[in-house]
Amino acid sequence: MILPFSTLLSLLAAFSSLSTPALSCAPPQTRAQSPVTIGTDGPADPTTVGFNLNHIAIQVRNLTASRAFYGDVLGLRHIFTYEASADFAIVYMGHAQGGRNGTGYQTGAEMARDQWNSEGLLELVWSSENKHIDSAVFGFSHLGLIVPDIQAFQDRLIARNIQVEKKVGELPSKDFGVYFGLHGKDPVLPKALEELVAAFVFVRDPDGYLIEVQVQQ
């Protein structure tokens, strides 16, 4: 989850008057007024220079439906399909890396060429055995998408008859807690988190994977 830039600026201003707390493996005993702690990590280990979070992979039941959703609705481009057998295939998709999606058009061949130097790619993994997929298990939380106009994005979903799980200004339903590690009888999100995500849109893909949408700050 990415916090809005305006929120981070106000938090930084508040933190500037606070002393730096001692590092500890134990949970903090007290909490400042804000629930956010800005990172203070130093430079990364030099041996990790060049490391890059390149892609995530999700299991899907229907490649055609998943490609249509991520391509037509979210604007990801088809990079390549790898059919290992009649019962197994993977599809790579991603936004153009030449700039924000649409500002730096790349062909599928160009995106495939740059695959190992790209970020934020999506790998769809299909198997004929993928009959039932529970997107709320295996530690999955959500995919995150940034858009320039969140109301226009919400209207786009509605115009395509895609169910919006949570609209702009609404509080999330109780079952959202499962996607944030809350598995009790009443998995309600903490109030601070509820207020934070009120400005977000949530939608599910054809396999039920939760997608969090924020407006670009």
* pLDDT reported for residue 65: 94
User: What are the residue ranges spanned by the domains of the chain?
Assistant: 52-133, 135-217
Q: Cα–Cα distance between 24 and 34 in angstroms, integer? A: 19
Each residue of 160-187: pLDDT tens digit? 999 999 999 988 876 776 666 665 556 5
Name residues whose C-beta falls within 8 Å of residue 112's C-beta, 6 or more positions apart in sequence: 79, 80, 92
pLDDT band at 23 (very low <50, low <70, confident <90, very high): very low
Tokens 């899907």 correspond to 60
Could you give the residue ranges of the DSSP H alpha helices within 114-200?
150-159, 191-197
Least confident of 70-79, 123-132, 150-159: 123-132
Residue 79 tokens read as 């990079």
* pLDDT reported for residue 105: 80
Better pLDDT: 21 or 93: 93
Check for a shared fold between 52-133 and 135-217.
yes
Does domain 52-133 fall under CATH 3.40.50.12170? My reply is no
Residue 22 tokens read as 């001692």
Pick the CATH number of 135-217 from 3.10.180, 1.10.10, 1.20.120, 3.30.70: 3.10.180
8 A C-beta contact, residue 203 and residue 164: yes
Average pLDDT over residues 126-132: 79
- Order across the sheet with 77-85: list the strands: 55-60, 121-127, 88-94, 77-85
Each residue of 183-202: pLDDT tens digit? 555 656 667 677 778 899 99
Averaged confidence pLDDT in the chain = 78
pLDDT band at 114 (very low <50, low <70, confident <90, very high): confident
Please report, for residues 36, 75, 81, 188, the alpha-carbon distance to residue 166 in angstroms, rounded to integers and kept in the order given. Answer: 23, 20, 32, 15
